[in-house]
Chain A
Amino acid sequence: MNPVLTFIVVLIGLYGLATSKNIIKSVFCVTIIESGVILLFLNFANYEGGAIPIVSEDVAAIVDPLPHALMITTIVIGSAVTALALIICIKVFHHYGSTEWAQILRREDVK
């Protein structure tokens, strides 16, 4: 388990978000960043010898359950955000006839 490798995924997502030309691809990159951040939190909460946070008699030490609870919240809210972003994408396509950032931003009435 290496947090550095996980952070690289977040950085790749940030790079994609900054360079993507299509609106839908930007939403994909947001999904990737989100998964990377969740994995980062779980990486830090995990340690050797810790067990799944369910109390039973034969468990001596558990990993911290608090980040897990917060990350479930993140996943559910992330799905809601993705759904909203995509429905706005559909509307943007039918209004401007394109989903490329450059083509839409070049128009005068959008500025």
Chain B
Amino acid sequence: MSRKIILVAALGILFVMFFLSMEEMEDLFKNDAKLYFFEHGLDDTGSSNLITAILLDYRLFDSLFEAGILLVAVFGVIWISRHDFEERNAHFMLDKYKTPELFVTLSRFVFPLLLMLGFFIILNGHLTPGGGFQGGAVVATAILLLYYINLERKTDISLIVAVVKFAYLGIVLTASISLITRGEIFTNFMAVDAPTMSKYIYIIALDILIGINVALCLWAIFTAFLKEGR
């Protein structure tokens, strides 16, 4: 009991400290960077959506390692859940009699719509909210519905991982082209004074690659979880 009192007291001190420092924190993001992004973002990167501009151009190094961490997590999950035995009867935990028929029918109806929404989010990452990461997650959700539609579905994780490795290599290579064309690494490969329309190409290409990477990584993660247990 005394431990809980000490804990609550410590959290209370934390709260008071936060309350006192709150006014300074409110000035944290109201600086010149915002104005810079607003004025130069579209011309620099060719993306009206400034978040995509930051993720894929200004701070590409961050996104690169974000996709890398997801890849490492997939390796970790597969390595921990590995089984040396041939999984002959590895049927998934989704039992046929436990899945309602209505849900299966609804999944069949929703699946193409969800897939289309995912591709829309990926391809319009420079115009509307969204981008490679979000679109990839939506596509992964759509793929998840496939397991409900066809319960005997078998998936080869090693194939997914092989494709993901090449997708990640593709991201790094696409980001590195700018070393040849512009002279600096990890930025848009079109010339600085190129028209905004042509700079779209780089954003869309990288968005598609990141979307493939994220979707396949999440697919591999939940397939490993579904297989776990037998």
Chain A residues with CB under 8 Å of chain B are: 3-4, 7-8, 11, 14-15, 18-19, 44-45, 47, 52-56, 61-70, 72-73, 76-77, 79-81, 83-84, 86-88, 90-91
Contact = CB atoms under 8 A, between A and B. Distances in A.
26 contacts: A3-B22, A4-B22, A8-B15, A11-B15, A14-B11, A15-B7, A55-B42, A62-B37, A64-B37, A65-B50, A66-B29, A66-B34, A70-B62, A72-B51, A72-B55, A72-B133, A73-B63, A76-B66, A76-B70, A77-B69, A81-B73, A83-B77, A87-B80, A87-B81, A87-B224, A87-B225
B66 A62 contact: no
Contacts of B51: 53, 65, 68-69, 72
Contacts of B133: 72, 76
Contacts of B66: 73, 76-77
B11 A90 contact: no
A19 to B, nearest CB: 7
Contact of A62 (B34, B76, B131, B229): B34
A78 B171 CA distance: 21
B33 interface: yes
A54 B129 contact: yes
A65 B37 contact: yes
A57 to B, nearest CB: 11
A84 B34 contact: no
The size bracket of the interface on B is 35 or more
B178 interface: no
A3 to B, nearest CB: 6
B30 to A, nearest CB: 7
B63 A53 contact: no
Contacts of B4: 19
A94 to B, nearest CB: 9
Interface string B109-132: 000000000000000000111010
A69 B55 CA distance: 6
B131 to A, nearest CB: 8
Contacts of B22: 3-4
A53 B73 contact: no
Given A67-B29, A69-B54, A83 B11 contact: no
Contacts of A3: 22, 25
B26 interface: yes
A64 B73 contact: no
Given A14-B11, A73-B66, A84-B73, A47 B30 contact: yes
A84 B80 CA distance: 9
